[in-house]
Structure 1
Amino acid sequence: MKINYDYITYEDVLRSRQFMYEQALEQNATNSLLNTARDLFGQESFDMCIKICEGLLDAKDPKQLYDAKKLIALAYYSLKDFENADKSFYELAENSNNSDDWFNVVISSTLNKNIERSKKAFGIALDKYTQYGHQRNMPSVQLMLHYMITLETVKEYALALEQFKMLAQVYAKLKKTDEKFLSSRGLEQIEVFLETSHAILKKAKKKELTEIKTELLAALDANGVEKVEEFFANFK
């Protein structure tokens, strides 16, 4: 007679149910703590939020672990502790295909003046958006814009100007400057974009400004040309 060594006893069933019950309890407890941490974050109690989430870093559920890590990173960012925000966002993004996670690395590392990391993360963010991006993600042109603004904040004017030029080329390629048309592509109105870039353009060489103006005037529609000419006429 062949003996079946794989049969399940009643005790096995009980142990399995107990294990599932304990897992459910643990998951519910973790969710409860995460909700508390979210509430604390909303109340700007960032230190307490971090403390609670650090206690959840052994969570077995990937989504719960991700949420805990992200709350920690966001809390550090809100505290303007950019060194820890940079570190936390990078650890969160390392295994992520979400371009928004890499966008957070770009911004936090820039504010931490970790410029080399920010440049690498920027390239990765664009790649991730191209490969995996969806409507809920920040458009790549907005990533460029916010990177430009953040670089200007830390006085990295040369790199900020590079981002400006990339965006200017996008406007030139699209040609149309109708507000609805630009908005549907994640772009600001041309005059808003130029005004936002004012401090960066102030640091540009005269030759660079001439080239930028010439490129835009040659490519944009009548409305765009009018806005560009108006901006540079008042540029000081």
Structure 2
Amino acid sequence: MNINYDYITYADVMRARREMYEKAHEKHATNSILNTARDLFSQGAFDMCIKICNGLLDSHDPKQLYDAKKLIALSYYSQQDFEKADEAFFNLSENSTNSDDYFNAVICAALNRNFERSKSLFEVALEKYTHYGTQKNMPSVQLILHYMITLISVDEIELAKEQFQLLKQIYMRVNNSDEVFLRSRALEPVEKFLEISSPVLKTYSQDELEIIYDDLHGSLDEAGKEKVEDFFQTITQ
């Protein structure tokens, strides 16, 4: 009879149980610290939240590490420290499949006037949404809209024009101005879309505006045509 030396002794069992307890205790302790950091964030104590979360960046638990990084990034954003928020969200998005992580990075890069990064991340955000997006994620059309709004806020009009043109094409394809219908597809009402886009539209020449008008007016239903007519009368007077 061969002797099996690969057996588990009582000491082995006790050591394994102790290691399991220590890991569980460490995880519980980390969760408690994260909950404290979340509370501090909700109270506006962003510096303290960042300090606590920085102490968790050596965590071996991917979920806890992700949560700590996200709280740090959100804290910098809340402080309007867009340079640090840009880097924090960029680091958070690495290896992520969550389109919202990339979109947050897009917005902060734009606010930091890091436009080349924002453009490249924007493409990735749309790609991630196409492949991994769920109902919890911001729809791609909202990604485009809010990117345009952010670019307008930092006077990056040429890049904002690209987002406007993307949205214009979407409205033309939808061919329906019913508000309920548009909302079900995460689109703003036609008149609101045009109003939001007005800082961009005002930079186009008269000839370019006529083309935009003809594109929208020729593609929408009768109610949509009226909304387009009403809006363009206000910006061409």
TM-score (norm 2): 0.98
CA offset digits 1:174-205 (Å, max 9, x no partner): 00010110001000000001001111111122
CA contact (8 A) 1:41 1:49 kept: yes
1:14-163 equivalences under 5 Å are: 14-163=14-163
- Report what 1:193 is aligned to: 193
Measure, in 1, the Cα distance between the counterparts of 2:165 and 2:175: 15
Measure, in 2, the Cα distance between the counterparts of 1:5 and 1:120: 58
Q: 1:118 corresponds to which letter in structure 2?
A: S
SS of residue paired to 1:95: coil
CA contact (8 A) 1:165 1:212 kept: no
- Report what 2:10 is aligned to: 10
Q: 1:65 corresponds to which letter in structure 2?
A: L
Deviation of residue 11 (structure 1)? 0.5
Deviation of residue 138 (structure 1)? 0.3
Measure, in 1, the Cα distance between the counterparts of 2:212 and 2:186: 21
Deviation of residue 60 (structure 1)? 1.5
TM-score (norm 1): 0.98
CA contact (8 A) 1:37 1:52 kept: yes
Deviation of residue 207 (structure 1)? 2.3
Measure, in 1, the Cα distance between the counterparts of 2:202 and 2:170: 21
Measure, in 2, the Cα distance between the counterparts of 1:162 and 1:98: 24
Measure, in 2, the Cα distance between the counterparts of 1:5 and 1:231: 84
Percent identity of paired positions between Structure 1 and Structure 2: 62
CA contact (8 A) 1:102 1:122 kept: yes
SS of residue paired to 2:57: coil
SS of residue paired to 2:235: coil
CA contact (8 A) 1:49 1:75 kept: yes
Deviation of residue 118 (structure 1)? 0.3
- Report what 1:173 is aligned to: 173
* Moved segments of 4+, more than 4 Å: none
Unaligned 5+ segments in structure 1 are: none
- Report what 2:215 is aligned to: 215
SS of residue paired to 1:11: helix
Q: 1:234 corresponds to which letter in structure 2?
A: T
CA offset digits 1:42-96 (Å, max 9, x no partner): 0111111000000011112111110000000000000111111111111111100
SS of residue paired to 1:234: helix
Q: 2:123 corresponds to which letter in structure 1?
A: G
Measure, in 2, the Cα distance between the counterparts of 1:29 and 1:5: 38
Measure, in 2, the Cα distance between the counterparts of 1:126 and 1:26: 37
- Report what 1:229 is aligned to: 229
Measure, in 1, the Cα distance between the counterparts of 2:207 and 2:166: 17
Q: 1:76 corresponds to which letter in structure 2?
A: Y
Deviation of residue 222 (structure 1)? 0.7
Aligned pairs, number = 236
Measure, in 2, the Cα distance between the counterparts of 1:205 and 1:98: 39
CA contact (8 A) 1:161 1:204 kept: no
Measure, in 1, the Cα distance between the counterparts of 2:30 and 2:176: 50
CA offset digits 1:6-39 (Å, max 9, x no partner): 1001001111000010111110111111111111
Deviation of residue 143 (structure 1)? 0.2
